[in-house]
Amino acid sequence: MLKRDLTTSYPRSVRDVSLGVVQLARAVDKGIALANGLQGEYNFDCPMDKGVFGFLGVDGDALLDVIKKAQSESEIEAYLKPFVDKKTPQEIQGFNAEFLKHEPQKGSDAETYFLDLRNQLAPDRTDVTMWADLLDLDEKRDVPRRSPVAV
Residue 87 lies in a domain: yes
- Residue 149's pLDDT is what? 56
Average pLDDT score, the chain: 95
- CB–CB of 115/106 below 8 Å? no
In this prediction the pTM is 0.92
Burial 10-21 (b: 16+ CB within 10 A, else e): bbbbbbebbeeb
- Residue 139's pLDDT is what? 97
- CB–CB of 145/127 below 8 Å? yes
Which structural domain, as residue segments, surrounds residue 27? 17-91
Task: For residues 68 and 127, state if they share a domain.
Answer: no
Task: For residues 32 and 87, state if they share a domain.
Answer: yes
Per-residue confidence band for 148, with pLDDT thresholds at 50, 70 and 90: low
Task: For residues 77 and 32, state if they share a domain.
Answer: yes
Residue 47 lies in a domain: yes
Higher pLDDT, 30 or 146: 30
Task: For residues 61 and 87, state if they share a domain.
Answer: yes
- Domain tally, the chain: 2
User: pLDDT tens digits for 7-38?
Assistant: 999 999 999 999 999 999 999 999 999 999 99
Of 91, 107, 85, 100, the C-alpha closest to 131 is 100
Burial 63-95 (b: 16+ CB within 10 A, else e): bbebbeebeebeebbebbeebbeebeeeebeeb
Task: For residues 31 and 86, state if they share a domain.
Answer: yes
- Residue 151's pLDDT is what? 47
Q: Could you tell me how far CA 78 lies from the centroid of its own chain?
A: 19
Higher pLDDT, 151 or 115: 115
Task: For residues 78 and 42, state if they share a domain.
Answer: yes
